Structure 1
């Protein structure tokens, strides 16, 4: 049996941090959740992360700010952005900036799985 892929969830919304990792585990991923970009960056899980499910709008360092910081550090972790703000132009900018996908909340299990399959295929 192959090793589970490691996915980190970074979202300031507690309900997302509780629900999304449970869903990801059911889908076969190993996962950890973080309440902020800073918490993720300071974790020992960060260098082992193979994909990041990342909220765009968070207090402190935003999702796009974290994307820039990871690039600055030379880390190329694929990112699936999630957001409650349905802004198609922002979504396009994120994809052009290297994001693997950008999902609008609420998104379906199928949409998330398709985005992750795109990362790991």
Structure 2
């Protein structure tokens, strides 16, 4: 089974985004930290990962670097209320599909997920 993974240290974000995605038909898995996500045996079944930039412990950019270092082809969609220009640029340079500023519109999130899944499936 394939999942959209949500990695955010804020339980209300994990719950809200998870409920929205379930309502439109996605199966989700949520993680409260980058370390928890990277250690999950289900990581190889991820369609994409919605990843917060600033979290306790491992930061979002660090998780992205680890995924790249391990050659894991999991498209990343960043979410953050703290996205300065330099952070957004670094995320995109390292292969992020998109960078969403919290709060974001449901349609923008769903479009980003579709784009990420398309990238995972080899679409451009």
Instruction: Give the counterpart of 1:12 among 9, 28, 45.
Output: 9
Q: How does 1:1-121 map to 2 (within 5 A)?
A: 6-121=3-118
CA distance in 1, matches of 2:55, 2:19: 21
Q: Deviations over 1:64-120 (max 9, x none)?
A: 000111111121210000001141332122112100000000001001011111112
- TM, length-normalised to structure 1: 0.91
- TM, length-normalised to structure 2: 0.88
Instruction: In structure 2, list runs of 5 or more residues that go unmatched.
Output: 119-124
Contact 2:75 2:117 survives alignment (8 Å): no
Q: How many residues align?
A: 118
